[in-house]
Amino acid sequence: MDQASLKAFIENSDIRIKQLDEEEIVFDLIGAEPPLANALRRILIAEIPTMAIEKVELWQNTSVIPDENLAHRLGLVPLAVDPRLFEFKTSPTKAYDATNSIRFKLHVVCTKKNPGQPTGQILDVHDEEEHFNNANVYAGDLEWIPIGDQRERFMMEGIPDPRPLHDDILIAKLRPGQEIEMELICEKGIGKTHAKWSPVCTAYYRNLPDIRLREPVIGEAAEALKRACPANCFDIEDIGKGKNKQK
pLDDT in tens, 109-139: 999 988 877 777 777 778 888 888 999 999 9
Are residues 36 and 17 both part of a single domain?
yes
Are residues 102 and 131 both part of a single domain?
yes
Strands 132-133, 111-112: pairing kind: antiparallel
Whether residue 104 is contained in a domain is answered as: yes
Q: List the pLDDT tens digit at each of the 247 positions of the chain.
A: 678 877 887 888 889 999 999 889 999 998 888 898 999 999 999 999 999 999 999 999 999 999 999 999 999 999 999 999 999 998 888 899 999 999 999 999 999 988 877 777 777 778 888 888 999 999 999 999 999 999 999 999 899 999 999 999 999 999 999 999 999 999 999 999 999 999 998 899 988 777 777 888 887 887 887 777 766 666 666 655 555 555 5
Q: Report helix, strand or coil for 83.
A: helix
**CB under 8 Å to 209, separation ≥6 — which residues?**
233
d(CA 247, CA 238): 10
Are residues 237 and 181 both part of a single domain?
no
Report in angstroms the alpha-carbon separations of 123 from 7, 63, 177. 65, 19, 20
pLDDT tens for residues 176-215?
A: 999 999 999 999 999 999 999 999 988 999 887 777 778 8
* DSSP 8-state assignment for residue 64: S
Helix or strand run (H / E) with residue 227 = helix 220-228
Whether residue 194 is contained in a domain is answered as: no
**Total tally of structural domains belonging to the chain:** 3
Are residues 29 and 145 both part of a single domain?
no
Secondary structure of 136-198 as H, E, C letters: EEEHHHCEEECCCCHHHHHHHCCCCCCCECCCCCEEEECCCCCEEEEEEEEEEECCCCCHHHC
pLDDT of 234? 65
Q: Are 51 and 86 in contact (CB under 8 A)?
A: yes
Give me the domain span that covers residue 18: 1-48+199-208
Report in angstroms the alpha-carbon separations of 214 from 119, 211, 217, 235. 75, 10, 9, 17
Report in angstroms the alpha-carbon separations of 190 from 45, 73, 152, 194. 9, 18, 27, 7
Examine the fold and report which residue of 143, 158, 189 is the final residue of a domain before the chain moves on: 189
Are residues 85 and 34 both part of a single domain?
no
Burial of 179 (0-12, 13-18, 19+ CB in 10 A): middle
The CATH number covering residue 160 comes to 2.170.120.12
Q: Are 221 and 137 in contact (CB under 8 A)?
A: no
